[in-house]
Structure 1
């Protein structure tokens, strides 16, 4: 069972947005995101990639089926919530590439695909001249009632790749949790590394 990794840019991005939307809804429904997504929201949210110069989707395909994807775009093109911590610190947004979502069907985890997602997005950012890469990870309390027993956060994986939390840099971004009636803002820790 082999997966094919494809790097999609420009007009190619449109070819996977609907499948990426479905994958995001399924994967982000689990801990720690607990996201109650809709195709309507996803269509609006993801459409921006197709119109953003420098955006990338690294897709993992089983035959023609998208089983995983990781996205990225220039930080200066991201929504204000993700730009704000960098602007407040006087950092050069034009030097930073934002690694957005990374979603992978559970059946394909543990096969090195997560590393490829980072490798390919970082290589794409370097080709475009970016000097740093960043992403955000949701912060949930340890005592949250939906936290799975034995859950191990990905912090060690990210640190091994050279990422470190940017001290005091917290993004607040809204989405609807499963079982909730409305969107609420979630805190997300900013992680950063030099490329």
Structure 2
């Protein structure tokens, strides 16, 4: 475990955001190989996916740096930027997509986990969202069977952490995405449960 005193969090915009994207792609591939994502990453896909952070006027990337090396990052964009992906999941939920800020991912190398950086990632994104008038913060987590053969014996679900942050799962708000698992020959659909919190309330 590396002491978090060695790590600085920095909000990346403009040229700094652009410069960090190749390392963010590599971090996503490395971290999401683990349970529960089991993502068999591809740099070509990552480059296309991360283009949205270049294009969105209100996107945020929070980088965690240790002596200049990117060891973690979290991202967020307005949910409306992903309307085509999430419209079906949110249909009938009563949420105005234009009021929701989407906390897309947090990735952090294993030696830096469990020391509070996750709170720093959420604090920065929620503050960014409030400053831009969003009233709801949301993210989604992949759903896997509890008896999945590749489930890690040491895996600790993040549900308690998310609930302490004031988030709760949204009943029936489930998205479908496709990616290639480590043990699969091709991409398959996955279900992702949305969680949300009211940004006008204190958790």
TM-score bracket relative to the smaller structure = over 0.9
How far did 1:79 drift? Answer: 5.3
Match of 2:17 in 1: 13
Distance 2:28 2:79 in 1: 20
How far did 1:47 drift? Answer: 1.3
How far did 1:84 drift? Answer: 2.7
Output the TM-score relative to the length of structure 1. Answer: 0.96
Match of 1:158 in 2: 162
How far did 1:110 drift? Answer: 1.2
How far did 1:89 drift? Answer: 2.3
Moved more, 73-82 or 34-43: 73-82
Q: Unaligned regions of 5+ residues in structure 1, if any? A: none
Match of 1:41 in 2: 45
Matched, 1:73 2:77: yes
Matched, 1:180 2:184: yes
* RMSD after superposition: 1.2
Match of 1:82 in 2: 86
Match of 1:137 in 2: 141
CA contact (8 A) 2:93 2:173 kept: no
Q: Secondary structure of 2:26's partner? A: helix
How far did 1:41 drift? Answer: 0.6
How far did 1:166 drift? Answer: 0.3
CA contact (8 A) 1:10 1:55 kept: no
How far did 1:11 drift? Answer: 4.2
Distance 2:22 2:149 in 1: 32
Alignment deviations for residues 123-146 of structure 1 (CA, whole Å, 9 cap, x no partner): 000011100000000001000001
Distance 1:163 1:102 in 2: 15
Query: Structure 1 residues 7, 194: closer, same or farther in 2, change over 3 A?
Result: same
How far did 1:152 drift? Answer: 1.9
Query: Structure 1 residues 176, 79: closer, same or farther in 2, change over 3 A?
Result: farther
Q: Unaligned regions of 5+ residues in structure 2, if any? A: none
Q: 1:54 aligns with which of 53, 58, 72?
A: 58
CA contact (8 A) 1:87 1:93 kept: no
Distance 2:20 2:131 in 1: 23
